[in-house]
Amino acid sequence: MTIHIANDQLPDYEKINAKLNKSWTSADYSKIGIRLQIVGELLAERADIRPGAKVLDVAAGNGNATLAFAKRWCDVLSTDYVDRFLDHGRIRAKAEGLDIAFQVADAQNLPFADESFDGVVSTFGVMFAPDQPKAAAELVRVCRPGGTIALASWTPDSFIGRLCPTIGRHMSAPSSFKAPANWGKPDFIGEHFGPAASWIDITMKTYTFRFPSPEFYLDFFREHYGLTKRAYQVVGPEGEAALSADILEVIAQMNTATDGTMSVASQYAEVIIRKA
């Protein structure tokens, strides 16, 4: 039996994407992104892509993976669908003396020909694309046979993996919205990349969020992380206390610091895929 789905039953991913773009643009993510630089460095080491290779950084943010691969003499094109993020990447590249190209591009509709890149990478970026199967297919499409796809994605049990649905409950996220932390699940990687891969390696790693206090973290992310900032706008003054309490509760459950500071380990999946 063949089931036909009418177009009006399909999620409007373009509309969702446009709303997310506004949320990301509303805050200065670079204040947060620079603190994740080590993840880009570790991913570049593990991917072991040769000098001179053409590398595409998808949903690059302020350029952590971009800079890491460029330091290893790769020919990097840094992309994001928020041009403001790329501006920060440009500033960092200039400060580091790195020759990097930048271009606005949507992870769900990459404006590049098939098999254009030797390496396709993303750190905590492509996982936030609402149309997950399409984004995964795009990474595969633009990578050449024998090339490398390298990803770093939060897992469902990570700090961010637990925080996202906690915040989402206050925002009444649409039923079509899929958890970004799906990208940190081996089953997801196998389903969306397995058919096109000759080899997949998944290593669970940990990044630790260190802040002066849980309250400092809350205020910092509320100001600089677009999705959190948007959540507070949605709940309004009457919902702020409940949202803050839920976020602080997640931190309390995972915080190992005993001196009033915050030290929360967050698991992420480091994924290396060789395209067949």
More confident residue, 265 or 166: 265
Residue with tokens 């990301």: 24
**Contacts of 26 by beta carbon, 8 Å cutoff, 6+ apart:** 226, 229, 230
pLDDT of res. 1:
29
Least confident of 45-59, 104-118, 226-240: 226-240
Please tell me what DSSP assigns to residue 130. S
Per-residue tokens: 6: 């009418």
The structure tokens 């919205």 sit at: 177
Which among 226, 228, 232, 268 is positioned nearest to 82, based on CA atoms?
A: 226
Residue 273, pLDDT above cutoff 90? yes
Q: Confirm whether pTM is higher than 0.85.
A: yes
Task: Work out the percent of the chain whose per-residue pLDDT is above 70.
Answer: 88
Whether pLDDT at 219 is above 80: yes
Integer Rg of the chain from CA: 19
Instruction: Compute the distance between CA of residue 228 and CA of residue 218 in angstroms, rounded to an integer.
Output: 9
CA angle centred on 19, ends 13 and 22, rounded to 5°: 140
Residue with tokens 């480091």: 270
DSSP 8-77: GGS--HHHHHHHHHHHHHTS-THHHHGGGHHHHHHHHHHH-PPTT-EEEETT-TTTHHHHHHHHTT-EEE
Instruction: Report the C-alpha gap between 271 and 121 in whole angstroms.
Output: 10
Could you state, in order of their start, the residue ranges of all structural domains in the chain?
Answer: 12-156+174-207+267-275
The string of pLDDT tens digits covering residues 224-268 is 887 888 889 888 999 999 999 999 999 999 999 999 999 999 999
Mean pLDDT of 84-103: 96
CA-based diameter of the chain, in Å? 62
Average the pLDDT over each of 20-29, 51-60, 131-140 and give the range with the smallest value.
20-29
The CATH number fitting domain 12-156+174-207+267-275, selected from 3.40.50.150, 1.10.760.10, 3.40.50.970, 3.90.550.10: 3.40.50.150
